[in-house]
Copies of this chain bind each other. A is one copy, B any other.
Amino acid sequence: MTVDAKLLARARRALYTGVISDVLDSLGYREHAMQPHVRPLDESLTICGPARTALYMEVFHVEKGKNPYELEIALIDDLKPGEVAVMGCPRGGRVAPWGELLSTASKARRAAGCVTDGLVRDVKLIRDMKFPVFAGGIGPLDSKGRGVVQAIDVPISCGGTAVKPGDYIFGDVDGVCVIPKRLARECFRRALGKAAAENTVRKELARGDKLAAVFKRHGIL
């Protein structure tokens, strides 16, 4: 049930979250879309790859004699090519768990990108390097003394959606979908088929066919 590199490359090139989302629905898996405040820094970039997770906790002091970035650093330094760092943060937080230096380090490891429901900073430099980052907002505050990664490679919640290590993340200008590992191959295959069908529908609608007729003909909308 693994997703081979070729299928993954096709998915990244030809798919979009709308069709991924419809297919996950049809597979009976409906809680797959992050809340709409999780937005891409660069709307032209697509992210697609297996999740490496981190779980953030809000804190209210700096613990002496301890590196506050320890687990965060461990996760980034261990990223494999194509993996997506997913940082789950407490609601309402004002901390940026991601920024340009982590992006630079991740890119050097050929990671696929980062998704977080926390904030991100150094937006300009991250955009310049074309590294896909999806975040819950933008803000300058460092996490030191405000948030600490308490665990990595555990189940988390990000953007209101459960993410398990190894789940596939698919994000583009329309949002971010989380695909359970065991459904990923099936999902990508079906989505490639549905994307083709939508092209037909689009052409018929563009030439002026009534929606009612087109929907009757193809059963998709």
Contact = CB atoms under 8 A, between A and B. Distances in A.
A119 B206 CA distance: 22
A188 interface: no
A202 B100 contact: yes
A154 B60 contact: yes
Nearest to A53: B60
A61 interface: yes
Given A121-B18, A155-B60, A206 B108 contact: yes
Contacts of A124: 16, 43, 172-174
Interface string A41-83: 0010000000000010111110100010100011011000000
Nearest to A177: B140
Contacts of A55: 57, 59-60
A123 B157 contact: no
- When all copies of this chain in the complex are counted, the total is 6
Contacts of A59: 55, 151, 154
Contact of A90 (B90, B104, B151, B206): B90
A101 B221 contact: yes
A144 B220 CA distance: 11
A22 B76 contact: no
Interface string A141-161: 110110000110011110000
Given A21-B142, A30-B145, 4 more contacts: A18-B140, A35-B94, A73-B212, A138-B174
A-B CB proximity, top 6 nearest: A17-B140, A21-B140, A36-B137, A57-B57, A90-B90, A104-B205
20 contacts: A17-B140, A18-B99, A21-B121, A22-B142, A33-B94, A36-B137, A37-B137, A55-B57, A55-B59, A57-B90, A69-B215, A73-B212, A73-B221, A77-B211, A91-B92, A100-B202, A105-B205, A138-B174, A138-B175, A140-B177
